[in-house]
Amino acid sequence: MLKFHRIVLLLALLALPALALSAQDSAETLVVYSGRTEGLIGPLLERFTAETGVRIEVRYGGTAEMAATILEEGANSPADVFIAQDAGALGALAQAGRLRALPPDILERVEPRFVSPAGLWVGVSGRARVLVYNPELVAADALPASILDLTAPEWAGRVGWAPTNGSFQSHVTALRLLLGEDGARAWLEGMVANGAVPYENNRAIVQAVADGEVPVGLVNHYYLYAMRASNPDLRAANYYFPGGDPGALINIAGAGVLDTSKRPGLAQRFILYLLGAGAQTYFAEQTFEYPLAAGVAASPELLPLASIETPDIDLSDLSDLQTTLDLLRETGALP
């Protein structure tokens, strides 16, 4: 029954695709770990290769999983550049001493509020926190003036949120910094008592709002536009909290160079490319994020960056997630 040579042959055949993959190698190669998915950043990497001749080996995964991978890899990490979806993961790597300081000519291209104060990472595109709402269920003028008003009885059981989502947790960290520990706790307790409806992620919230499961939800601004591309009739719109409200945070997707990179010069050149006009226009048009450099304007569908009054906050402080998680657990927002 065990025709051994046949089995061995079959196994060898199965291994072929991977062998073919490892065979190709060139002199100038940059290894990028990307917490952003291929659809969001892949075309940019291809353009970089086409323009510079530098081959890019890219590994995709969740931002947090990629950061955890880099931490586990230690000194032998093959990665040169880490691209993250939020400032928190970059902050965690910076805190672990895994990022190399960036030169001034990179840091100067972006507003200081979107850059690591220690110069360890730089924001590439901006992601605004908004209240997504279903215009059929709530009139625009009935929306609250502040994120803090969502604990009022009129919003009981009507707000979707994603307590396990990184963007949301970063936002709660910001609330802690802006309102103080007690203020953030009071808000979270109010939300939990008010029956805020938990979802797994932003997309699920936008879908739930469009489906009428809940009339409003706390999300990042761009999911709406990405989902509208496949479904133009999506019954949802974005609302920015006005007047520097804690609800109007802008987080970043950014990049940093690994301390273990053997090609830091090349890695910096790649980050410069991400901050160039071509890449910034790509973010404005393809991902509907806010471009942060090269004077490129955001998509005309969005409220312009200059019109958003963001709360006064240092994004690098958003890396202190442990305290936020403890707070989320203590208030019952998280298991």
Partner 1 sequence: MQLNHLTAYAPRLLIHAGMRCPAPRLPSPLALAAGAVVAAVLLPLVYLVLRALGAGADGLAYLLHPRTLAVLVNSAALTAAVVLAAAVIGALFAWLTARTDLPLRRLWLVAGLLPLVIPSYVGAITLIAVLGPRGLVQQALAPLGVTELPSIYGFWGAWLSLTLFTFPYVALPVRAALLKMDPALEECGHSMGLGRRAVFWRVTLPQLRPALAAGMLLAALYTLSDFGAVALMRFDAFTRVIYIQYTSSFDRSRAAVLALALVVITLALVLLERRASALTRNYRAGTGAQRLPRPVALGRWTVPALAFCAALVGLGLALPVVVLAMWALQAGAPGAGLGLALVNTVSASGLTAGAVGLAALPVAVLAVRSPSRLGRALSGLPYIGNVLPGLVVALALVFFAASYFPALYQTLPVLVLGYATRFLPLSIGSTRSALTQINPRLEEAGRSLGCRPWAVTARITAPLARGGILAGMALVFLSAMKELPTTLLLAPTGYKTLATDIWTASAEARLAQVGLPGLLLVAASALGLFIVLRQSDR
Which residues would be at the binding site for partner 1 (CB under 8 A)? 1-2, 7, 10-11, 13-19, 21-22, 31, 37-40, 57-62, 64-65, 67-69, 71-74, 76-78, 88-89, 92, 96, 164, 166, 169, 198-200, 203, 208, 211-213, 223, 226-227, 230, 321-322, 325, 329, 334-335
Residue position matching structure tokens 């100038």: 28
User: Count of CB atoms within 10 A of residue 138's CB?
Assistant: 18
Q: Which residue has the tokens 């917490």?
A: 35
H-assigned helices in the chain = 4-23, 38-52, 63-73, 87-95, 104-107, 166-193, 202-211, 223-230, 264-274, 277-282, 321-330
The minimum distance between CB 67 and partner 1, in angstroms, equals: 6
Least distance CB 307 / partner 1 (angstroms): 26
For partner 1, the closer CB: 146 or 322: 322
> Minimum distance between the CB of residue 295 and partner 1, rounded to whole angstroms?
28
Closer Cβ to partner 1, 112 or 212, answer by number: 212
As measured in angstroms, the least distance from the Cβ of 257 to partner 1 is: 18
Q: How far is the CB of 116 from partner 1 (least distance, A)?
A: 17
Contacts of 214 (CB under 8 A, 6+ apart): 157, 158, 159, 160, 197, 205, 208
Phi, psi of 89 (to 5 degrees): -65, -40
Nearer to partner 1, 1 or 306 (CB): 1
Q: Count CB neighbours of 195 within 10 A.
A: 11
